[in-house]
Structure 1
Amino acid sequence: MERFKDTSSQPSRREIREARRRKGGGALEFLLILAISFALVFGVVRPFIVEAFYIPSESMEPTLQVNDRVLAAKFVYYFTTPERGDIVVFRSVENPDEDLIKRVIGLPGDTVAIQGGTLFVNGQPRQEPYVARGVGGFATFGPVTVPEGHYFMMGDNRSNSQDSRVFGPVPEENLIGDAFLRFWPPGRIGLI
């Protein structure tokens, strides 16, 4: 006696193709999703939300090293203003095509001075555990008053940083974003 296979419960080739099409579809759908993703990243995320920046110099050592890569939140300053101690990416005062990264030291209206290597803001000495120690730098500077709508920026490596002591306070419109995450190199990934 010959046995026949019951194929009534198995799907046909046409049914398999239909199921695949319904499940998610093919190259055209993938390309469309990819194109939309690129448009969102480069048309919305990078210009308005977050952007990666490369650290080219030693001016922020020991906090940031040469060749580190950081992310800066660009939207933050639409809703709030920088605070003392924030690490900020901004367009250079001297060369608008160049982006710099420094720490906010003085807010609008603050008086900033350095005496004997100690930073004073509004006449009060500031504790700065992030500053590179034992490297000299400006032993005396100022006092200067930060104009309204400007911020006084300094690198953590005070002896090797071209900052507001050289080019003056940074206008608020030059601020790009608040650096918040080091994502490269892998061994140094973390919040900053």
Structure 2
Amino acid sequence: MAENIEKKQDSGLWENVKVIIQALLLAVVIRTVFFQPFTIPSGSMMPTLLIGDYIFVNKFAYGYSKYSLPFSPDLFEGRIFASEPKRGDVVVFRFPPNPDIDYIKRVIGLPGDKIQVRDGILFVNDQAVKRVPDGMFQADDGKDKGVDVPVYRETLDNGVNFDTLDQDSNSRGDNTREFLVPEGHYFMMGDNRDNSSDSRFDVGFVPAQNLVGRASMIFFSLGNDTSFTHIWKWPANLRYDRIFKGVE
């Protein structure tokens, strides 16, 4: 009898171990192939994405490169099952000068496009992007706390529209040279136009291989510099209206 009980216990323990291993493998597959969570650490994409937003990134949206895999092994060059981003997509990519760092910006220029900013107005292929005032914005964090920052609604030629911030009408990013996007590369900009390190500056053109995926949904959001581990602060600092909100 005792021997049977021990066998049942061993069998039950092994079943539990198998379930845990299967769950871990499934999590790795989902994270590697389908969706990967990211957190937003800076205000470069405000007001679209805020510091403290937690997002899911669709990794199969543009196919896969070595940067889609854990530790970025050199198994192949370029992308497999590749598809092109659309102008206006919000994308996570590897920072070209240091691919160990993830960046998130909006696709503004596609291969062959001409991009320039003149007096704060974005031009794509010599056509001014429609830009209209859309109220004021104030952040709820201490790292990038803008007070009554002007918001402008921009509409791209494909109909994608989104809000941008323009705190300083004469910042160094408000007048740029003309950029010609090379084949196999993309031009990225942050929606917080005066506070974004992007393709206007040190990011440069982003190779297609560096794309990780398209930001698809905010699944959690904490304001007021609240740490994720401070669970007791969640009720007072959760941004309830942002949970399960799509990224546009």
State the distance in 2 between where 1:126 and 1:28 align.
61
Deviation of 1:171 after TM superposition, in Å, equals 0.5
2:114 matched to 1:125?
Answer: no
Aligned-residue sequence identity (percent) comes to 45
Residues 166 and 194, structure 2, Cα contact 8 Å, conserved in 1:
no
Aligned counterpart in structure 2 of residue 89 of structure 1, from 88, 92, 107: 92
Q: After TM superposition, which residue ranges in structure 1, 4 or more long, deviate above 6 angstroms?
A: none
2:141 matched to 1:156?
Answer: no
Q: CA RMSD in A?
A: 1.9
2:51 matched to 1:66?
Answer: yes
State the distance in 2 between where 1:134 and 1:145 align.
27
Matched residue count: 169
Query: Which digits, 9 at most, give the CA deviation of each residue in 1:18-47, with x for residues without a partner?
Result: xxx9xxx955434322210111211x1112
2:246 matched to 1:191?
Answer: yes
* More divergent stretch after superposition (173-182 vs 133-142): 133-142
Where do 5+ consecutive residues of structure 2 fail to align? 1-7, 64-81, 131-153, 155-161, 222-237
Tell me what 1:106 maps to: 109
Higher helix share: 1
- AA partner of residue 116 (structure 1): D
Deviation of 1:96 after TM superposition, in Å, equals 1.1
Tell me what 2:148 maps to: none
TM-score, L = length of structure 2: 0.64
- AA partner of residue 148 (structure 1): E
State the distance in 1 between where 2:40 and 2:216 align.
14
Cα gap change, 1:27/1:135 in structure 2, threshold over 3 Å: closer, same or farther? farther
TM-score, L = length of structure 1: 0.82
- AA partner of residue 27 (structure 2): V
Q: Which has the larger radius of gyration?
A: 1
Aligned counterpart in structure 2 of residue 50 of structure 1, from 35, 39, 62: 35
Residues 36 and 57, structure 2, Cα contact 8 Å, conserved in 1:
yes
Match of 1:162, SS? coil
Tell me what 1:182 maps to: 218
State the distance in 2 between where 1:105 and 1:76 align.
17
* More divergent stretch after superposition (129-138 vs 150-159): 129-138
Tell me what 2:18 maps to: 32
State the distance in 1 between where 2:53 and 2:112 align.
33
State the distance in 1 between where 2:91 and 2:12 align.
44
State the distance in 1 between where 2:246 and 2:12 align.
39
Match of 1:130, SS? strand
Match of 1:82, SS? coil
2:203 matched to 1:170?
Answer: no
Deviation of 1:84 after TM superposition, in Å, equals 0.6
Aligned counterpart in structure 1 of residue 175 of structure 2, from 101, 123, 140: 140
State the distance in 1 between where 2:124 and 2:22 align.
48
Where do 5+ consecutive residues of structure 1 fail to align? 1-20
Residues 188 and 206, structure 2, Cα contact 8 Å, conserved in 1:
yes
2:61 matched to 1:76?
Answer: yes
Deviation of 1:105 after TM superposition, in Å, equals 0.3
